[in-house]
A and B are shown apart, each in its own frame.
Chain A
Amino acid sequence: SQTIHQWPATLVQPVGSPLSLECTVEGTSNPNLYWYRQAAGRGLQLLFYSVGIGQISSEVPQNLSASRPQDRQFILSSKKLLLSDSGFYLCAWGPGGQETQYFGPGTRLLVL
């Protein structure tokens, strides 16, 4: 069966510091991968998606970036965090086609 992991679970970072969130998927090959941000009461905002190694599509211009160095690894990064980057970050994978998505447990980021 497939599983998806995210770490860390919680992160408190000062403004201006760098960020690296990691997501890995097990039990499947060549998944579509997604990063979402969830702000309180505002649903899910798609940040990035990837259909293969090194292929990243950005949905929202911002100071975040994503990379996919391996088939089942997806990384969300920032060089300098802003207060507005605080939120709950969710990674998801999908097998393609009908695009049901399967979510990881999330990372709660607080930028102070």
Chain B
Amino acid sequence: AQSVTQLGSHVSVSEGALVLLRCNYSSSVPPYLFWYVQYPNQGLQLLLKYTSAATLVKGINGFEAEFKKSETSFHLTKPSAHMSDAAEYFCAVSLGGFKTIFGAGTRLFVKA
């Protein structure tokens, strides 16, 4: 069975600092992996997705994620945090069917 674990329910960084949000997955076959962002009282918005074309995936708003099969990880990074990055971030895994499994989410706080 597939699953996804996000390490850290809350992450706090200073403006301009590196953002690192951790995600580990479990899957018996190569999965599709996603990162979504949710701003307060809004739906989720796709940041980026991994579909086996390239291990380093670039997304919107300067975010990127690297697929590491040996570590079963898909961590999200951004070199320099902006105040506008404060939101909740969800990692998700799918095997291409109808079910996508979402992590519990990591809330990112950005300090001025």
Q: Total A-B pairs in contact (CB under 8 Å)?
A: 57
A105 adjacent to B42 (CB under 8 Å): yes
B32 adjacent to A46 (CB under 8 Å): no
Judged by a CB distance under 8 angstroms, whether B41 is at the interface is: yes
Report the Cα distance A43→B52, complex, angstroms. Answer: 25
A57 adjacent to B9 (CB under 8 Å): no
Chain A residues whose C-beta falls within 8 Å of the C-beta of B41 in the assembled complex: 106, 108
Q: Name which residue of chain A comes closest to B4, CB basis.
A: A43
Interface residues on A, range: 20 to 34
Q: Identify which of A4, A32, A100 contacts B98 (C-beta below 8 A).
A: A32
Chain A residues whose C-beta falls within 8 Å of the C-beta of B104 in the assembled complex: 41-43
1/0 per residue, CB under 8 A from A, across B47-61: the answer is 001010000000000
Chain A residues whose C-beta falls within 8 Å of the C-beta of B45 in the assembled complex: 103
A98 adjacent to B44 (CB under 8 Å): no
Binding site for B on A (CB under 8 A): 4, 6, 32, 41-44, 46, 49, 51, 57, 59, 90, 92, 94, 97-106, 108
- Given A92-B43, A98-B94, 11 more A-B residue pairs with CB atoms under 8 Å apart are A43-B90, A43-B102, A44-B44, A46-B100, A49-B99, A59-B99, A90-B43, A97-B96, A98-B51, A101-B100, A106-B43
